Amino acid sequence: MSPIRVMSQGRRERGFVTHMVMFVVVSVLTGALVAGLIIPFAGLFGLTTQKATDAFQNMPSELEEPPLPERSRMLAADGSVIATFYDQNRVEVSLDQVAPVMQRAILAIEDGRFYQHGPMDLQGTLRAFIRNQQAGGVSQGGSTITQQYVKLVQFENAETPEEQAKVIEDSYGRKLQELRYAVELEKTLTKDEILERYLNIVYFGDGAYGIESAARHYFSTSASKLTLTQAAMLAGLVRDPNGLDVKENPEAVLARRNFVLSRMVAEGMISEKTGREAAKQPLGLKMSRTPRGCYYSPYPFFCDYAEQVLLNDPALGKTREERRRALYRGGLTIYTTLDPQAQKAADKAVRETVHPTDSVIGAVSMVEPGTGRVKAMAQSRGYGEGKGRTYINLNVPQKYNGTVGYQPGSTFKTFVLAAAIKQGIPLSTSLPSPRSATIAEPTRNCPNGKPGYHRDVWRVSNSTSAGATSTLITGTTHSVNTFYAYLQQRTGICEPAKIATALGATRADGKPLQQVKPFTLGVNEIAPLSMAEAYATFAARGKHCTATPIIKVVDRHGNEIPVKSSDCKQVLPKEVADGVNYVLRQVVDGSDPGRTGARMSMKDEGRQVAGKTGTSNDRIAVWFMGYTTNLAAAAVVADADPPLQTLIGRRIGGRVVGGDQVWGGTLAGPMWLAAMRGALEGRESPDFVEPDPDLIRGVPVTVPSVIGMGESRAKQVLREAGFAMSVGGWVDSAQPRGTVARQSPAGGTQAGSGSTVVVYLSDGTPPPPPPEETPAPKIPKPTLPPGPFPPRPPGPQPPDFPTPRIPQPPDSIVGDSGPPESLRKPG
């Protein structure tokens, strides 16, 4: 006899022995009478019933059944689906949600006697045993649905390819262990429960796991609505889901479907006539794919931001990999803050301002004041690879797959304004606002919490016209750099930096804010979302809520997972926020024709708007930060690709922009306005709370007229209006003696709250009439001789000569805001 035949015979004998063990064990455990036919044969090989059962009983019996991988869904605020996340596209359903015809079809082809036998079908196994002996190996399994389920669970539990290969190997040892689990499983679960779990775990090919996903994928229907032909096709795929491809080999799939129909006829589940008619029908596919991840989302950058937030949340797992598994396998439902109306408006506004292939970028972030909910997030470049596309989210900080941010320019002046109001500096305070200035004195700061001074000499200049002096109101509405340089000298840098940090305006790279003298002009790189979060705090009257894209997350059982939500805290006194809001409203809605935010007014639509423009050094980035009481938004247009260069002369949105167009109020502002109009359409915005003149000194208030009042009455009226009173003396007047004859400022004019009104009391005697004027003699105009004229003498020139232009220092700040190049951080 050849060695090959001997080896083959040996394998047959060992397989026969193992199979005898299976029959002996099952006969004892199930009491099946057919075992009596097998035990005598087992004795021929030296086996005993006790030995077989002891070995079997000592095998592991408790099958670990972790939750099946199930897809997670991310929803917008209106319930629409933003994205689906999965490793296995599965939606679990109960057995009563599976059409009865589907249940019959799977039983007909996989285990026709499922409800009649125990953990092992002895008839089927004997039939498979005989065929295997004839074939010289394992050619037919004879596994029941319970055994198949056990095998699928073990495969899911395998973590490495080697473990998975061990689970699916064709060996009698593996089948014995599989049977041991099946025996224990049928003690604890009903047949219906086992069938339900089987239908949810089994793979139907082409990425569809479980019967519900398969029904949706192949026929765009649900498992409960499957027809006979649909059910037969799906049942036929189970045996070879990878080999039976409906797109590559539809004929094989059709043949397999018809075989299932014939099995259903043979099992008495359908009539022969029904089977014949069904076999004539085509496959009737109506494919429906379930996109995976943010790439296919209609709002990919918001989706990516929300995903990154979850992957950083310990509530989903200790490690990032555990959180990823929870998201892609946990069957979560993620409720987000995204407002489709606001998102579509932001997308449209950005798209119409900056084109995807432009060398600059445009971005808009929207945050709801008082909740921190991120309503929209748009950018000009698309999501993905290639020209005009990127995977980087331009709106968010670096840790959320964002950038190192952009210098926000004069929008940072607002934090110095807030510090000044908090420190009691009146809004009517006047400070110098020359064309240029040199700040040589040290400025207080507190880097890393340690009090100190920034001592570098800072030369600063204005890009906007201003008088010799400005107030907190005019210095803000005209965005006067030199005024804010002097104001920051009074407030220091420490408190503005603390306020900015508390409000959420932190550096995009996660480092502390740089506390240098140009701080007020926006030298720190900030993400648009962080600036929107900070300005939303002003809109919410000092209540800061951390920006969040997540409302809640629930697991597959409907239990809420305690992920991080928005943390809200009063970080700024209400009256201080009211004062800031009042000043920033003058930037947009005020009466000053030179205000920088005039184009963004929505007064005609019945909305009050507060805002601030910003332009970085060399006009590399332009911003507009604006808000109503119910929505705050950051809009930025900036160079995005190193080396960073000015926007002047660049092609943006199909046109080359000149110097007069590259400002926060002329480029970023209109984009902000278009986004806000669309987001707020059909929604009301309540008015801002007016600042309390008793708390915010310097708020412009109409001065009441006290002419003719007695001294005590006049003092009371002025005090009630928020003014102090001082008596300037007595004057001749026809007013009754002791009453007010004159006042300064005059009644009906505007003056800062807390100001002092000087009154002059009447002495009761009218002033003498003015003397008659004698007309001045006429002097004849000299006649000038004809030219040429002699040259002008040196020295001061008459006023008809133009004033020579004062040259700018080489490192002055030119533009709405921004630092000298030496203070810019690389990247």
Using alpha carbons, select from 337, 336, 338, 334 the residue that is nearest to residue 556.
Answer: 334
Sign of CA dihedral 479, 483, 485, 487: negative
- Helix (H) and strand (E) counts in the chain: 24, 29
Class level of CATH domain 700-762 = alpha beta
In sequence order, what DSSP letters do the residues of 664-721 get, joined into one string? Answer: IIIIIHHHHHHHHHHHHTT---PPPPPP-TTTSTT-EEEPPP-TT-BHHHHHHHHHHT
Query: What is d(CA 94, CA 72) in angstroms, rounded to the nearest whole number?
Result: 18
Please state which of the ranges 85-89, 156-160, 334-338 shows the lowest mean pLDDT. 156-160
Q: Yes or no: is domain 69-86+293-693 CATH 3.30.200.20?
A: no
pLDDT of 58 > 90? The answer is no
Q: Yes or no: is domain 91-279 CATH 1.10.3810.10?
A: yes
The ranges assigned to domains in the chain are 3-57, 69-86+293-693, 91-279, 700-762
pLDDT of residue 776: 57
pLDDT of residue 819: 34
Query: What is d(CA 727, CA 705) in angstroms, rounded to the nearest whole number?
Result: 15
pLDDT of 420 > 60? The answer is yes
Please state which of the ranges 78-92, 139-153, 321-335, 752-766 shows the lowest mean pLDDT. 139-153
pLDDT of residue 534: 98
> Which H helix or E strand runs over 364?
strand 360-367
- The model's confidence at residue 321, banded by pLDDT at 50, 70 and 90, is very high
Of the chain, the percentage scoring pLDDT greater than 70 comes to: 82
Please give the average per-residue pLDDT across 367-375, as a whole number.
98
Interval 615-633: pLDDT, tens: 998 999 999 999 999 999 9
Looking at every residue in the chain, the average pLDDT score rounds to: 86
pLDDT of 785 > 50? The answer is no
| Contact indicator for 616, 626 with CB cutoff of 8 Å | no
- The model's confidence at residue 129, banded by pLDDT at 50, 70 and 90, is low
Output 465 or 639, whichever has higher pLDDT.
Answer: 639
Tokens of 108: 């007909």
Angle between helices 3-30 and 172-188 (to 10 degrees): 10
pLDDT of residue 130: 60
**Which residue bears the tokens 């990999």?**
321
727 phi and psi, to 5 degrees? -90, 120
Q: Counting beta carbons within 10 angstroms of the beta carbon of residue 37, is it exposed (0 to 12), middle (13 to 18) or buried (19 or more)? A: exposed
Please give the average per-residue pLDDT across 569-596, as a whole number.
96
pLDDT of residue 793: 41
Q: Give the list of residues 6+ apart from residue 787 with CB closer than 8 angstroms, or none.
A: none
Query: What is d(CA 626, CA 365) in angstroms, rounded to the nearest whole number?
Result: 11
Highest mean pLDDT among 9-18, 171-180, 686-695: 686-695
Query: What is d(CA 372, CA 76) in angstroms, rounded to the nearest whole number?
Result: 16
- The model's confidence at residue 89, banded by pLDDT at 50, 70 and 90, is very high
Interval 382-392: pLDDT, tens: 999 999 999 99
